[in-house]
Amino acid sequence: MIEKVLSFFDFPKSTIATKKLKTYFLEQLDLKANDKKLIKNFTSSITLHNILNQNKINISKYEDDGQKYVEIYLMSIELTDKSKLKQISNIIQTIPKPLILVFVFENEISINITPKRINKNDSTKLVYEETKFCDWINLSDTSTLQEEFLKSLAIVNQSFINFYTFYNSYLDKIITLNASKYSGTLEINKNASEILAKITQTEQKINELKQDKKRDNYK
């Protein structure tokens, strides 16, 4: 399963850096007790697969006073309960590197991208600009758009200007996939994120109104 997922990215062999990390999170990172409990009980494995940097691939690093994209890690996290996806992602993303996280639950995967920048008031802290997950994809039953998305993950389909644009290529693809259930296409639209956010807010309001109506019916 993991090998199939990694094949979508098709990263060069020079970037392979396989390392099991669950023990690292449990024993070496200074995590809160509840975070350790989540990692212990709801992940079966956490694995680093690839490290992309200038020594291993011909992409320039990107640094300014708030952002640092020198290398990118590709990691997989096998979950035992996919409802814990966002909580566990928040824990993993405390690693101060640009991470591509692939979450696996049975035959399903979800990919997380979280751009980060350095806190200007405290350089030891990170600010998470946004975090995006693609909707769960069942690899045993993929739609045409999902298949196109998986093919688009290949390294040759990303921007090679620098590691910042490379990383954000994946962010754009996730946003586009999530928007495709409304647009019916994987064409990248610069306003897709904003449009998707508005649609999500509208759906939430509709659900809230439905719940309010149900409560009124029981009064």
Report pLDDT digits (tens) over 146-176. 999 999 999 999 999 999 999 999 999 999 9
Cα(99)–Cα(114) distance, integer angstroms: 7
> Residue for token digits 């990303």?
158
Cα(65)–Cα(45) distance, integer angstroms: 35
Higher model confidence: residue 160 or residue 179?
A: 160
Cα(213)–Cα(195) distance, integer angstroms: 27
| Predicted pLDDT at 48 | 98
Q: Is residue 213 over pLDDT 70?
A: no
Q: Is residue 211 over pLDDT 70?
A: no
Q: Is residue 191 over pLDDT 60?
A: no
Q: Is residue 212 over pLDDT 60?
A: no
pLDDT confidence tier of residue 118, bands split at 50, 70 and 90: confident
Q: Is residue 129 over pLDDT 90?
A: no
Cα(35)–Cα(142) distance, integer angstroms: 33
* Arithmetic mean of pLDDT over the chain: 87
Instruction: Give percent above pLDDT 70 in the chain.
Output: 84
pLDDT confidence tier of residue 208, bands split at 50, 70 and 90: low
Find out whether 118 and 127 touch, Cβ atoms under 8 Å.
yes
Report pLDDT digits (tens) over 33-64. 999 999 999 999 999 999 999 999 999 999 98
Smallest CA-to-CA distance from 143 within 134, 130, 132 is with 134
- For residues 191-199, average pLDDT: 54
Under 8 Å CB-to-CB from 82, ≥6 apart: which residues? 103, 105, 108, 110, 136
Cα(46)–Cα(51) distance, integer angstroms: 15
Kindly report the CA angle at 113 between 64 and 143, in degrees rounded to 5?
145
| Predicted pLDDT at 81 | 95
Cα(49)–Cα(127) distance, integer angstroms: 25
